[in-house]
Amino acid sequence: MMMAALLGEPTVSAAGTQPAVSEPCDLRFGGTGDEVPVSFRRHVIPLASRLGCSSRECHGSFQGQGELRLSLFGYDFEMDHQALTAENDERIDRNHPENSLILKKATLQEKHRGKKRMDVGSWEYNVFLNWIKSGAHNDAETSGAFLKLEILPSQIQFLRSGELVELKVLAHWDNGDVEDVTGMTRFQTNDESVATVDKRGVVTAVGSGDTHIVAFYDNGVAPVEVLIPWDSELARKYPALRTRTEIDRLVLAKLSRLGIVPSEVCGDEDFLRRVRLDLTGTLPTPDEVMRFLHDPSPGKRQAKIEMLLNTPEYAAWWATRLCDFTGNNNQQMPERNFRNEFSTQWWEWIHQRITQNVPYNQIVRGIVLASSRSSPQESFEVYATEMSGYLQKNEPGSFADRPSMPHFWARRNVRTADEKALSISHAFLGVRIECAQCHKHPFDQWTQQDFSQFKDFFEPVRFGRNPADNPKQTGKSYASILAEIEESTGYDRKMGTNRKAFDEEIKRRVAMGEPVPWQEVFVDQRFSGSPTLKNPNQKRRLNTRVLTPKLLGGEAVMLATYSDPREPLMDWMEDRENPYFSRAFVNRVWAHYFHRGLVEPADDMNLANPSVNEPLLDYLAGGFIESGFDMKWLHREILTSDTYQRSWRPNDSNRYDERNFSRMILRRLPAEVVHDAIQQATAPSSEISHMPSKIDGRAIGVKSSILSANTRNGLGYALNVFGKPERLNNCDCERSNQPTLLQTIYTRNDPDVLTAVTGKEGRTYRWADEIREQLRSSAPAQNKRADRKSIQSELQKVRVAYQDHTKNKPVPPEDPDPAAQQRYRKSMRQYQNQLQALKEERDNLVSRLESPSADSPTSQNQVALEKAINEVFLRTLSRLPLSHEFQNAMHDIHSAPNAADALSELLWALLNTKEFLVNH
C-alpha cells in the first residue's frame, strides 16, 4: 500500500506519557477464546451499526424488520438491549450461544433478508459470541462516558490519484481508556469524485480537489480533510503572492496546497457594482459610477465601503436579511386583523438597531428574551393600551423603541416547545436538529434525549392569555375588556355570530389607541424550576413540572435561580466559547457575499459537514466576538479583502475551483434586488439619484415582508418568481437564487416590466418618456462644432497616452526565479489590459468623428443619442459600453424608424442580459 501521508503526532496525556492504546479490533477479537471482555455499548452496538443492522433500511427503520426493531444508528442502548434479549425469544441463547438467532441470521446459517453480514469465526462474529457467553449484559451505565473520537492522520495530502491512506480511529473514554475502534467505525466521504473510503477506513485518492472523510462511532463524529492538488508541481513550487489581509492569508494558505493561483483583483467597475448590490441591495447610479471611475485616490474602495455602511439602504437590506433568518412572515402573525402591522413592526425593530449599529448579540437578546409586557408587574390594561398606541391613527408610538421584540414567539407556526427549539437553533445557532426529534442525528452528536432536554427551555414560553393575570389588579383585565366588546357588538364566540361587528369594533378601538384584548408572549410560571409557585387566580397549588433543560453540547441547567428559562440559554449563546452562535452568523454573512458559505449549506453546521476553511471561520468568528459582535466590523473585514474583490474571470489553475474562493463566482441577484434594479434602471433622471436612499416602497425594505407569495401580479408575484423566501420553514434553502424559465418570461414579457421600460401609457413617468421628450426638443440644425473640437482634443490626448504606454512595455527578467517570473507575468497582463482599454477608447473617438457631423442636419440628435446610449449601459450594467457595443447600438438606433423606441428596446435588451441579472 502506497502511503501519501504520515500519522499525526501521538496524543500525550496530562502526565506526559502516551496513553495505552488497545490493539486493532481484528487482533483483539480475532482469537477463539472468550477471555477478551466485550462491552455492549463500546463494541456490540457500534459494530451492529457498522454492519448496517441499525440502519434505516434494516432494523433501524421505524417499523423494524423481521419483528426486530433497533434504534436508528444505535444510540438508545436500553431499547436495543431489550429488543435483543427479550424473553421467550431465540435471538439470544445464553445456554447455547452459537445457536443465537442474531449469529445464525447474520452468517446466513438461517434465511436472512438482510443478507450475509459476517463469517462464522470472524472477529466480528467473536464480538457477538463472546458478549452472549459473558451473559449479554447492558453495561451502558457502567462502561464510562465517551469523550471524543480521534482520527489519525488528522489530515491527508495526496499527490496524485490512486494513492492510499489507511485511517486509524481512537475512542477516548473518561476513565482514561483509549481504544482502537477502526473496525467498529462507519465511514463516509463527502465527495466521491475526490476520494473514496471503504469499510476498513482505507482512503483512495480519485480526483483533484478537496473533501472530508467522516468517521462515526458511538456518539462521536470526526472529519478528516483530504486534498489532492489540481497542479502538483504548482503546489510544490507555489509563487510568493502578496496578501493584504488575514482573510487573504488564510485563503491563500489552502490554495497553495491545492496548487491554485487566485484570479487578479477585479476592476473598479466590477467592484463598485458588486459591493453596491451585495452590501446595500442597490445598483450604483450612473453619476456614482462615473465619479468612482474618475476618482484617482488609492483608498477609494475602502472609503466607498465606509460610505455604504452608513446609508439607509444598507440598514434596510440587512434588516430584510435578518428577517429572513428569524422568520418574519406576515401570514404567521397571530392577530389576523393586524398581521401586516405586526410584520412591519418586526422589520422596523430590527431596522432601527442596524441603523444604530447595535451589536448583533444585543439584537438577538432582545428577541430571545422578549415578553410582551415590560415587566411582570405591569397591568394588562397598561400593556394593552401600549400595544394599541403603536397602531393608533394619530401620532402612533414607535414599536422600534421597545427594548424587546416578542413577535418572534407569537407566530402561529411557533407554538409548541418543539417548534420553538427548532426555530431558535436554526435562526441563531445555524443547526438543524429536526432529526433528533425522533432518533439519533445521523450526522451529529445530538440524540433524542438531547433534543428533549433542549426544548425544555421553551416549555414555559407561551403566547395567548396570561393565566397569571390578576383580576384584582388596578385597571381592566383581558377578560373584562373582551366581555365589554362582546356585549357591545353582540358577538357570540361559540356560535360565531356578529364576528364582523366584533372585528370592526376592535379596529375602531385600536385606531383610537384604546385597549383591546391583545394576546401576549409570557413565561408561564407553572413550568418552572421551582414547584412551589401558585397561580394568583387559584387558591390551590398547581400541578407543576420541574424542568432541567440542557444546552446543546453543554450542561444541564437548574431553573430555580432564573425567572425566565431563556436567560441561561442566551448567556450560553453569548459566551465566547459557544461553538455555534458567532460562527453561524459569520457563516451566513460569508455565504451572502460569496456563492456559498464556509460551511455549506450555511444553516447546517454539523460535525459531518465541516468548514472548507476551518482556520478562516475561526478567525472571523473570534474577531466578531472581539469586536463586540459589531456587524459593521464583519462586513468591513470581508469586503476590504482581496478575496472578496477577486475577478470572476478564471485563470488556468482555478478554472474548476468553486469551493475555495480563488475567484468570484457569478451569482444571480436576490429577488428583492432584481425588482428594485429594474425599477431604478427605468426611472427618470429626476428620481434615480434619490432612489438608493429612498426606502419606502422598495422591495429591499419592509414591503417585501408583508406581501403574499401567492399573488399573481405586481411586486409579490415578481418576488415569488425570483425566489424570495416565504420564511415558513427553518431552512435558508427557502431563498432560491437559481435561474428559471419563468424568470426569463417575466423580464421579457411581464406587463409591469414592459411598461417600466417603454413608459408609454404608464401610470408613472419613466426614463423612456424623458428621453422621448429630449429627442423631440433637440434642434435639428444646432451648431455642434464645439463638441467636435472636444472630441478631436480628447482623441489627441488618447493617441499620446497610447504612444507613451507602448514605450513602457515590461521587459522579461533574466532571473529564472519563479517570483520574478510571476511579477513579470502580472505586469504584462496589466500592460496589455491598459493597452486594450486605450485602443478601445481611441477607436470609439475615431468612430464618433467619422460618423455624420454633429452639426449636420442628417444627424440632428447625434450627441443626445450618444449620451443616451452611455446612460443605458450605466443604468443597467454600471459601466460604459465597449466600442463594438456602442457601434452596434448606434447602428440599430439609426436603422430604427423611431430613435426613442430604439433606445427603449436597448434598455429592454440589457435588462434581459445575464450581466444585468447576476452579480459579478
Do 670 and 592 touch, CB atoms closer than 8 A? no
Locate all alpha helices (DSSP H) within 851-911, ordered by sequence. 862-877, 883-895, 899-911
Q: Is the pLDDT of residue 524 over 50?
A: yes
Cβ atoms within 10 Å of 564's Cβ, excluding its own:
18
Average pLDDT taken over every residue of the chain: 86
The Cα-based distances of 805 to 797, 802, 826, 829, 835 in angstroms read 12, 5, 16, 13, 7
Q: Is the peptide bond before 153 cis (omega within 30 degrees of 0)?
A: yes
Predicted pLDDT of residue 784: 47
Neighbours of 429 (CB within 10 A): 20
The alpha carbon torsion through 575, 576, 581, 583 (nearest 10 deg) reads 180
Strand order, beta sheet including 220-228? 155-157, 220-228, 209-217, 186-189
At how many degrees (to 10) do helices 499-511 and 478-489 cross?
A: 120
In this prediction, residue 764 carries a pLDDT of 67
CB neighbourhood size of 338 (10 A): 21
For residue 759, the model assigns a pLDDT of 80
Residues whose CB is less than 8 angstroms from the CB of residue 354 and which lie 6 or more positions away in sequence, other chains included: 314, 315, 318, 319, 322, 363, 631
Q: Which amino acid, one-letter code, is at 873?
A: F
Confirm if 322 and 405 have CB atoms less than 8 A apart: no
Strands (E), 174-259: 178-180, 186-189, 195-197, 202-205, 209-217, 220-228
Question: For residues 540 and 658, what is the distance between their CA atoms, to the nearest angstrom?
Answer: 65
Q: Identify which has the larger pLDDT, 493 or 599.
A: 599
Cα–Cα distance for residue pair 584/636, rounded to 1 Å? 18
Between helices 899-911 and 767-777, what is the axis angle to 10°? 150
CA 634 to chain centre: 15
Helices 499-511 and 380-391 pack at an angle, to 10 degrees, of 80
From CA 62, how far away is CA 71, in angstroms rounded? 8
Instruction: Find where cell 375602531 sits.
Output: 508
Task: Give the count of beta carbons closer than 10 Å to the beta carbon of residue 119.
Answer: 12
pLDDT score of 71: 74
pLDDT by residue (tens digit) across 41-64? 999 989 988 888 877 778 766 677
Residue 796: how many CB atoms within 10 A of its CB? 11
| Distance in angstroms (rounded) separating the CA atoms of residues 899 and 890 | 10
Q: What is the pLDDT of residues 846-870, one digit of tens each?
A: 776 666 443 333 444 678 889 999 9
Alpha carbon distance 869, 886 (integer Å)? 7
841 phi and psi, to 5 degrees?
Answer: -65, -40
Joined together, the cell numbers standing for residue 907 give: 434598455
State the pLDDT at residue 635: 98
What's 283's DSSP letter?
Answer: P
Residue 215 phi, psi (nearest 5): -110, 140
Give the pLDDT mean for 837-845: 79
Q: Is the dihedral of CA 273, 277, 278, 279 positive or negative?
A: positive
Residue 150's pLDDT band (cuts 50, 70, 90): very high
What pLDDT, in 10s, does the model give residues 798-828? 778 877 777 788 888 877 777 777 787 888 8
Question: Model confidence over 745-795: pLDDT tens digits?
Answer: 999 999 889 989 988 655 567 888 888 777 766 544 344 444 566 777 777
Return the number of other C-beta atoms located less than 10 Å from residue 799's C-beta. Answer: 14
Q: Which pLDDT score is estimated for 788?
A: 60
Beta bridge partners of 157: 227
Candidates 279, 359, 284, 362; CA nearest to 320 is 279
Q: Is the dihedral of CA 601, 604, 606, 608 positive or negative?
A: negative
Distance CA 552, CA 445 (A): 9
| Residue 103 CB neighbour total at 10 angstroms | 21
Residue type, 590: W
Distance (Å, whole) CA 756 – CA 749: 12
Question: What does the CA dihedral 252, 254, 260, 262 come to, rounded to 10 degrees?
Answer: -30
Q: In what order do the strands lie in the sheet with 146-152?
A: 146-152, 168-173, 178-180
Whole-number Å distance between alpha carbons of 877 and 856:
31
Stated pTM of the model: 0.85
Percent of the chain exceeding pLDDT 90 equals: 53
Least confident of 8-22, 567-581, 739-753: 8-22
Predicted pLDDT at 154 = 93
CA 860 and chain centroid, separation: 54
User: 413-436 pLDDT, tens per residue?
Assistant: 999 999 999 999 999 999 888 776
Amino acid at 21: V
Nearest-angstrom CA–CA distance, 801 and 793: 13
Residue type, 542: L
Q: Which of 911, 592, 868, 601 lies closest to 752, judged by CA?
A: 911
837 grid coordinates: 482599454
Residues 554-564, mean pLDDT to the nearest whole number = 75
How many residues can be counted in the chain? 920
pLDDT at 297 > cutoff 80: yes
**More confident position, 654 or 20:** 654
Q: How far is CA 332 from the centre of its chain?
A: 22
Out of 226-235, 538-547, 897-906, give the one with best mean pLDDT: 226-235
**Stretch 210-235: mean pLDDT, rounded?**
93
Q: Is the pLDDT of residue 230 over 80?
A: yes
Please state the domain extents for the chain.
6-16+144-228, 40-133, 358-429+432-466+506-579, 741-781+856-920, 797-855
Cis-peptide into 739, omega within 30 deg: no
Are 459 and 94 in contact, with CB atoms under 8 Å apart? no
B/e letters for 284-302, b = 16+ CB within 10 Å, e = fewer, are bbbebbeebeeeeeeebbe
Average pLDDT over residues 578-607: 94
Whole-angstrom distance, CA of residue 417 vs CA of residue 730: 15
The alpha carbons of the chain give a radius of gyration, in whole angstroms, of: 34
CA distance 115 to 99: 18
How far is it, in rounded angstroms, from Cα 522 to Cα 412? 15
Helix, strand or coil, per DSSP, at residue 36: coil
Provide the residue type at 636 as one letter: R
Fold of 6-16+144-228: Immunoglobulin-like (2.60.40)
Res 643 pLDDT > 90: yes
How big is the CA angle at 787 (ends 784 and 793), to the nearest 5 degrees? 145
Task: Report whether pLDDT(7) > 60.
Answer: no
